[in-house]
Amino acid sequence: MYPRAFDYLAPETKEEVLDVLAERGDEVKILAGGQSLIPMMKLRLASPGTLVDINRVPDLDSISIGNGHLTVQALVRHNDIVNSELVTTENAAMASAAPWISDPIVRNLGTLAGSVAHHDPEGDWASVMLACGAQVVAESRDGGERVIPITEFLTDMFTTSLQPTEMITEVRVPRYASRTTHEHAPPRGGGNYQKLERKVGDYATVGVATHLELGDDGGISKAGIALTSVYPHNLKVTEAEHLLVGSQPSDELFAEAAEIAKSACTPASDVRGSAEYKKDVVRVFTERGLAASLAGAQR
Ligand SMILES: Cc1cc2nc3c(=O)[nH]c(=O)nc-3n(C[C@H](O)[C@H](O)[C@H](O)COP(=O)(O)OP(=O)(O)OC[C@H]3O[C@@H](n4cnc5c(N)ncnc54)[C@H](O)[C@@H]3O)c2cc1C
């Protein structure tokens, strides 16, 4: 099916993008990698009156560290993250998840910012961002900059708290605490992404993102667990995170956290597997992910 007719604008500055959003508001959609928006338009699930293509805007495609964060700008592609040495050394959950996003074509075009803005419950990045405690930075012409915790940004499936006049400029992920206090300290943080897919490049049947940080005594100082494709939206398993924080890591503790994650999700039975099977995969992946995260943090 062809999309409905729309105006196409390709401004060359961020200010022009923000002007278009301020003036046309609700009827505008930002085009980044187009890997979710274009299929939605072809199916007529989205019919924006105006597309504002941000791909010609300069200085929106870097990955950097500073102010305690790893910062991923709006035009950083999935494959930029796969190939980023900075991400490899800074954030194990992101490094582990990036190669799992779809296939090479989608990874060459699609962006992390577009993925969280789209908030498909089968999207992998939202779970990783929930586990890592990310912040989304949005800008608008009349409201300036707004820093939104990811838990407040992702409101429901395919829904976020982004205003029609706002554009995401970057997503910030906190650095491991040890790195923010001593630049060259070992990470004392680790993370992982486990994904089950029917075939290479498919969306997740089940995905589990984990993130752990250790304090001076080897106890868990920070924990993140979030699930993909097993709930109406990406699900942060807060109860399991609370169980972990303040405890010494152990197989028994991780098994208990994994049981909580299993109980929290409500997957549907479909061609990818029964609900019971998917719940058990959540349990196994949570245990494995926490063990891998711990190994990274104890390096
Ligand atoms: C065949 C196929 C397989 C896929 N498999 C996977 C998979 O396995 N895992 C996975 O996670 N994803 C998968 N995807 C989705 C892919 O990751 C998309 O790239 C991603 O969801 C959206 O990023 P994008 O840059 O392409 O955004 P676009 O498609 O350009 O935009 C998506 C939405 O985000 C908004 N948006 C984009 N950028 C901004 C911004 N800076 N500020 C405000 N709003 C913005 C747009 O207006 C639109 O509403 C797949 C896609 C395809 C086509």
Give SS3 for 81. Answer: helix
Q: Please say which residue of 129, 157, 177 terminates a domain.
A: 177
Tokens of 245: 């924080």
Identify whether 249 is part of a domain.
yes
Expressed in angstroms and rounded, the spacing between residue 248 Cα and the centre of ligand 1 is 38
Give SS3 for 71. Answer: strand
Expressed in angstroms and rounded, the spacing between residue 299 Cα and the centre of ligand 1 is 34
Q: Whose CA is nearest to atom 9 of ligand 1?
A: 101
User: Could you please report the per-residue DSSP string of 205-256?
Assistant: SEEEEEEEEE-TTSSEEEEEEEEESSSSS-EE-HHHHHHHTTSPP-HHHHHH
Same domain for 120 and 196, yes or no, is no
Model confidence pLDDT, tens digit, residues 192-239:
999 999 998 899 999 999 999 999 999 999 999 999 999 999 999 999
- CB of residue 36 inside a 6 A radius of ligand 1: yes
The partner residues of 36 in beta bridges, in order of sequence, read: none
Model confidence pLDDT, tens digit, residues 5-53:
999 999 999 999 999 999 998 899 999 999 999 999 999 999 999 999 9
Expressed in angstroms and rounded, the spacing between residue 236 Cα and the centre of ligand 1 is 21
- CB of residue 31 inside a 6 A radius of ligand 1: yes
Residue 103, domain CATH: 3.30.465.10
Pairwise CA distance, residues 6 & 169, whole Å: 24
Q: Where in the sequence is the domain holding 111, given as residue range(s)?
A: 63-177
Same domain for 289 and 221, yes or no, is yes
Same domain for 293 and 185, yes or no, is yes
Residue 24, domain CATH: 3.30.43.10
Identify whether 280 is part of a domain.
yes
pTM score: 0.97
Tokens of 280: 């058990």
CB 130 within 8 A of CB 210: no
- CB of residue 121 inside a 6 A radius of ligand 1: no
Expressed in angstroms and rounded, the spacing between residue 118 Cα and the centre of ligand 1 is 6
Same domain for 156 and 141, yes or no, is yes
Same domain for 24 and 103, yes or no, is no
Identify whether 18 is part of a domain.
yes
Same domain for 190 and 167, yes or no, is no
Identify whether 58 is part of a domain.
no
Give SS3 for 278. Answer: helix
Model confidence pLDDT, tens digit, residues 164-188:
999 999 999 999 999 888 877 888 9
Identify whether 2 is part of a domain.
no
Identify whether 1 is part of a domain.
no
Pairwise CA distance, residues 50 & 164, whole Å: 12
Same domain for 157 and 89, yes or no, is yes
Single-letter residue type at 140:
S
Query: Which residue matches tokens 């990036």?
Result: 98
Q: Whose CA is nearest to atom 48 of ligand 1?
A: 37
Expressed in angstroms and rounded, the spacing between residue 258 Cα and the centre of ligand 1 is 29
Same domain for 185 and 287, yes or no, is yes
Helix, strand, coil tally for the chain in percent (to 5): 40, 25, 35
**The pLDDT of residue 104:** 93
Tokens of 208: 């589990």
Residue 247, domain CATH: 3.30.390.50
Residue 96 — pLDDT band, cuts 50, 70, 90? Answer: very high
